[in-house]
Each structure stands twice: as structure tokens, then as C-alpha cells.
Structure 1
Amino acid sequence: MQMSLPCVKQPDVITCKAAVAWGAGKPLVIEEVNVNPPQAMEIRIKVVCTSLCRSDITAWESQAIFPRIFGHEATGIVESVGQGVTEFTEGDHVLTVFIGECGKCRQCTSGKSNICEVLGLERRGVMHCDQRTRFSINGKPIYHYCAVSSFSEYTVVHSGCAVKISSVVPLEKVCLLSCGVAAAWNVADISNGSSVVIFGLGTVGLSVAQGAKLRGASQIIGVDTNPEKGENAKAFGITAFINPHDSKDPIQQVIKNLTGGGADYSFECIGDTGMVTTALQACCDGWGLTVTLGVPKVKPEVTAHYGIFLTGRTLKGSLFGGWKPKSDLPSLVDMYTKKEIQVDEYITHNLPFEDVNKAFNLMREGKCLRCVIHMAK
């Protein structure tokens, strides 16, 4: 007697609201979009909260791939899973990540890098498995951003670009760990008793300060042209604040005077390649390390005199602070739940989804650190 197998219902197309960018610098438009079911090794997520990152602003102002849905710092609940997914089930709480981790490629297995060869930074606005989008409006494709596209009530991501978290962790807080707050001290391996200078005291810069404090740095100097940021930064570990507009001497000379010859570590957190050179000059000879974490809007080329490197200085770049997203993020979430790291303090605004353009304006005007956008219930 032949037995019939149970019929497994496949997920349907979902129609939901999403904030669609139709062109560079144009206000986002809340649209009804179709979200296709997850394909092999993908999951579809009901987005609960998403925070706005400076990188979203930079891409929105300058990138050529439109229409698209921005957003990459998000938390949500798994709605459905694609073929081959065993790590997640419906109802799981997840944190999205803009670079994934396959765990098998040369980069993932090296122990030296977090730039996965399979699920590294996605630039084409399509999904990995078939080079197509999961969003559409009246049959017209709407492109993804940074493998996440969280400015949508539902989104589809590769299972390697999500991390399962406990259901008791507050989703409206830990969404910040998807990018900015995590991208801090790991890449530099800051040593106890060292001196650190940070150019730019936004979310990334403050997270560097927090990490430097945790690592035992004795001098943590913050540099920013906004005087209001100096006082706020003290809560994150800044021991001295410099506003370049208040100094007659070049800022690198001021830092050398404060540190007795240059900082052990300097971090460029602005997205200004000219400032990378200044950060290098602010480091000490012999072992000074400069880490660039900002994403430049213009002039992506870095220039520096070769003599800087002959004297022993090093320039290093980083995505996501060098953390392996799936391997390392659970430990950061655990540190947050134990109150070992600050996260809530970066949130300066909470807005409903329909006010997403207000969030963009606040960040462009320098009036917020992180704005958390709460999706519709």
C-alpha cells in the first residue's frame, strides 16, 4: 500500500508597507510592496524595530541603484523559512547583520577576518542565491540594501545574515548591535594603559570610546567640531575633548602634546579620507595604529606621505569592527543583558515607521545619535 506524504504549505507572497527610495536624496515614500517567499537558505522576517545608520544616509544620497529599500540595523521575528534552513524556525527572534558568515570559506575559517567570501558586503541589491530581488511593486523590482532592507514591515535575508537571540532581549534596543555599536574596539585590540584619540563622536566614535574604556585605556581623547558632543561623550569614557575650531595649532600637534609624542591608537569615525591622514599624523612613531571606520561620501582615495609608514605607523580598515557576525554577536548581546556594555544610551529618538523621513532629517542635521524606528503592530 502506497502512503501519501503530507502536503507542506508553501509561504505566500506578502503585501506590506515599505519605505521606498525612488532616487538619490529624494524623500522616502511609504508604498505597498510585495514580498516574495524565502528561497533556499533564506528566511522572511517580520521587522519589529530598525535603527537608522549614517551609512543609510550616505548610500541614499549617492548610490545609483534605485528604487530600493534601505535599512540594515534591525530586529524581528522569523515569519517563514526557505528550503534547507535548519537554524531558524517560525517565531524565532533575530538580529540582522549586513555582512554574513558562511563558516566554510577561506575568510571564515582563517580566524583572521570577518569578510565572508560568500556573504560579504552585498552591493548589487539582489539576493545571493538567484541574483533577484524579493521585493516588487506591480511587477517592478525594488532592490535590496546591505542584504537586509529593514525599512519594510517584512523582509527576506539569507540565513547567514541573521543571528538568533533570546525572546527576552528587548528588540527595540539591541537592533543597534547590528552595525554601529558593534563596530568598535575589537579590530584594534586596544591595550591596557594606552592612549586613544577618536575623530568624530557619533555612535561609532562613542562605541570606540566605550570599548577603549573597557580595555583599560588611560587616555581617551575625543575630537569633534560640535561642542555639545564633548559633554555627552564623558559618559562613554572620553577623558578629554578637543574642538579643532578652538585651537590655533593643527589638531595632530595638539594631540601629540597631550599624549607625549602621539597616540597609541587613533580612530577615524567620520567618513572623511582627509581626516585619515590627520589621524595617522596624530599617532606615535614605532607602533601607532590608525583604524578607519567611516564611510566617505566623496573622495574615497586616501593619501599619505610614505614616511609616515616608514616610521612604523599602521593604517587599518574594518567592517563591523572585525567581529564575525554570527560567531561573535551572541556574546555582545550577552554583555548587553548583563549590563556590561551600554546600548540604550545611544538611542536619542524613537519614531513610528511613518516618520522615517523625519529620522533621516534628524541625522542629516546632526540632531541624533541613533533613531529607532518602530514598525506598525
Structure 2
Amino acid sequence: MLASLRTHQIVLASRPTGEPVAANFDVRSSPLPALGNGDVLLKTRYLSIDICARGVMEADRPDGASIAPGDVLGSGAICEVLESRAQAFKPGDCVLAHVGWQSHAVVAGRDLKRKLHPKVAPVSTGLGVYGLYGYIAYCAINEIVRPRAGETVVVPSAAGPTGAAAAQMARQHGARVVGITSGANKVAWCQALGMDAVVDRLSADFAAELANACPQGVDGFLENGQRAVHRVVLPLMNDLGRVAICALPSDGEVAPGLGRSDHLPALLEQIFLKRLSVRGFTERDVLRVHPQQLVDPRFVADMGGWLREGRMQYREDIMHGLEQAPAALTRLLRGENFGKLLVALD
């Protein structure tokens, strides 16, 4: 099979300035390496479109995660095993892998840690609610926010894959959940998930509406990098509240004339006076959730059970065709997706 099979790839052609455009990408056809002992040949079925794909296009990132022109864009993927020389895998197996924006790949079987089973949930969920995004929500709720019955938890981006999962988990703990999202369709979906209140962050009266939705204050908050949101939420925090920081603002979210440190005194004042517990969820945690390593038995068992029982709802936004990956990333950067954004390779 390998003798005639090639992989189709999308590579970085040039570094973008601002929003990526079509000219920043190129399509390449490359031969696959020979299949050695312990290797598996994978065919990509779904690609995850993630916001970090834009960040790694920058040169000289402090974390060293930059890619260079000519490199394949990286991402998690759901793949089917076509051929295997690894004892643990056979043709037809569906696995979670990190092969990037390409149609096929040869990888070492030892690097694949998780099979996906369609009888538990659609395999595409391995890139969203039953994968990285769901696991971030699982850790943020269970390890950091730790909601108790009757407390109020505020969840931004509540219609997104992490926010929607976190909101449903907090409700399972008996908390009162206030979701924040944007647009009438997303507000309606969050309400359908059972959130106790939903506030549109684009409303002219956002601050007042959020305060009205939290009459007893806020006990838990998932910070996801939206400055306009956390500046409104922090004054509502109760004593001994818990904040999980899952993302930081990008440069594009800093208002003109304001630096990154302008909000620091007010933030420290809130932490000090209200004795808040604030913890980041950083790349050190993400080492546990690398797309090929997501095998935490608690998460796999709990989320699998919730999905089978219909206790965890989710949305997916699927585009079709490898060539659509750059356009999908643009949609994600603009906030035009509704649900976990994937590209299906038909």
C-alpha cells in the first residue's frame, strides 16, 4: 500500500501579519516513509482546528513552539489505522493522534495511547468534549473551582466546547451556573443546556445584566482570556472564591493605549481583599493532555459514561475537505464557529 500512497499536506508558506490569508498556506504532496517494525500507517478522518495554530506561525516564540515556512501545521486528529506493524493495533482501529494538517502519516505505535470506540460516543468527540477541551473543563471544575451545591459559577464562552462541558459539570455538582456567550443562537443553546442564567457579552448593559444574574455574588470563575469579561466578573467574586485561568488575553484583546499590566493592581486588590484562590492551567498541565496521551482513566470513564447516558451535550461545527483547514482557522479566529470546529477528510 505504501509504495503508491502519498500524503497530502497543508504547510506554512509564509508568516502572516494579522489574520492569516490563503497566500500564507500551500498544499504539498509528499511520499510516506517506509513502515518499520512497531509502526502504523494512519489515514486522517478528522482534524481539530485550534486557536494555537495561529500562535505557532509567529517567529521566535518564547516557548519555542514556532513552526517555520515549509512545516506542516500541527493539530490533533482522529485517524484510522490502515496498516500496522505494532502488536497493539490492527487495521480499522480508530486512534487519537497528533499528525497535523495532512491526509496520511506513519507513526510509531508506542506513541499512540488511546483508541476511540464509536459505541461509547462518535469518534469525532475525541477532539472536543471527549478530548482536550472536555479534559480542560474536567480539571478546571474538579481540581480548581471545586463547586459546592448552591454556589454560583460563572462560565465564559459557555457555548464553546470547554465552556459548555464545564457548565454541565458544575451543574452536576449542584452549583448555580451563569453562562456568558455572544449572539441569540448561542444564548438559546446555553439555556437549553440548563444553565440558570445566560448573559450576552455583546449587550450594551453587559455589566448590569451579569450583576443581576449573580445576586449572591460569584464563587467560581473560569477565566478564558476575555478582558472585557473578567473585569466585570472579578468585582462580583465572593470571599474565598476560586478562579481557574485557562487562557490569557492575546495582544488583539488589549484596548488601544492600555498595556498588559494596567489591570494588575485591581486584580491583586481583589485577590488580597477577597482571599481568592487563583490557579493557572498551563502547558505543564497540558503535558497530561497531549492529543496522543489523553488517557486519564477518571476522565475517560466519567465522560464516557456521561456521553453514553445523554448527560453531557455538545455541539460540533464540521467543515469538509483538507483544503478547508485554513478557512476553518479563519472562522475560529473570527468567532464564527458554533461548537467544536473540525475538518472532516471525506
- TM-score, scaled to structure 1: 0.67
1:51 Cα deviation after fit: 3.0
Is it true that 1:165 corresponds to 2:106 in the alignment? Answer: no
Residue identity matched to 2:127: C
Check 1:371–1:235 CA distance in 2 against 1; reply closer, same or farther (3 A cut): same
Check 1:150–1:205 CA distance in 2 against 1; reply closer, same or farther (3 A cut): same
CA contact (8 A) 1:267 1:279 kept: no
Which structure carries more helix by proportion? 2
Check 1:154–1:307 CA distance in 2 against 1; reply closer, same or farther (3 A cut): same
Residue 49 of structure 1 is matched in structure 2 by 46
**Could you tell me how far apart the structure 2 residues matched to 1:181 and 1:65 are?**
26
2:178 to 221, 243, 263: 221
Is it true that 1:375 corresponds to 2:333 in the alignment? Answer: no
Residue identity matched to 2:139: N
Residue identity matched to 1:358: A
**Could you tell me how far apart the structure 2 residues matched to 1:274 and 1:322 are?**
30
Task: Flag structure 2 segments of 5+ consecutive residues without an equivalent.
Answer: 255-259
1:173 Cα deviation after fit: 4.2
1:265 to 210, 215, 220: 220
**Could you tell me how far apart the structure 2 residues matched to 1:354 and 1:56 are?**
15
Residue identity matched to 1:164: K
Fraction of identical pairs, as percent:
15
1:76 Cα deviation after fit: 1.4
1:209 Cα deviation after fit: 1.6
Residue 136 of structure 1 is matched in structure 2 by none
Is it true that 1:333 corresponds to 2:336 in the alignment? Answer: no
CA contact (8 A) 2:46 2:79 kept: yes
Secondary structure of the equivalent of 2:264?
A: coil
Residue 284 of structure 1 is matched in structure 2 by 238
Residue identity matched to 2:67: I
Secondary structure of the equivalent of 1:289?
A: strand
2:137 to 184, 191, 203: 184
Check 1:365–1:334 CA distance in 2 against 1; reply closer, same or farther (3 A cut): same
Give the count of matched residue pairs.
307
Residue 8 of structure 2 is matched in structure 1 by 17
**Could you tell me how far apart the structure 2 residues matched to 1:183 and 1:320 are?**
8
Check 1:39–1:227 CA distance in 2 against 1; reply closer, same or farther (3 A cut): farther
Secondary structure of the equivalent of 1:186?
A: helix
**Could you tell me how far apart the structure 2 residues matched to 1:199 and 1:296 are?**
13
Residue 315 of structure 1 is matched in structure 2 by 278
**Could you tell me how far apart the structure 2 residues matched to 1:65 and 1:14 are?**
26
Deviations 1:47-87 (A, max 9, x none): 112232233344447764223333534211234567xx654
**Could you tell me how far apart the structure 1 residues matched to 2:235 and 2:106 are?**
44
Is it true that 1:194 corresponds to 2:151 in the alignment? Answer: yes
- Structure 1 window deviating more from structure 2 (330-339 vs 36-45): it is 36-45
Residue 149 of structure 1 is matched in structure 2 by 99
CA contact (8 A) 2:177 2:196 kept: yes
Residue 117 of structure 1 is matched in structure 2 by none
**Could you tell me how far apart the structure 1 residues matched to 2:104 and 2:325 are?**
16
CA contact (8 A) 1:280 1:290 kept: no
Secondary structure of the equivalent of 1:307?
A: helix
**Could you tell me how far apart the structure 2 residues matched to 1:281 and 1:13 are?**
62
1:238 to 188, 192, 195: 195
Residue identity matched to 2:168: Q
**Could you tell me how far apart the structure 1 residues matched to 2:244 and 2:329 are?**
27
**Could you tell me how far apart the structure 2 residues matched to 1:37 and 1:312 are?**
58
CA contact (8 A) 1:44 1:81 kept: yes
Residue 33 of structure 2 is matched in structure 1 by 36
Is it true that 1:303 corresponds to 2:271 in the alignment? Answer: no
Secondary structure of the equivalent of 2:114?
A: strand
CA contact (8 A) 2:76 2:100 kept: yes
1:359 Cα deviation after fit: 1.7
CA contact (8 A) 1:47 1:375 kept: yes
1:70 to 63, 69, 73: 73
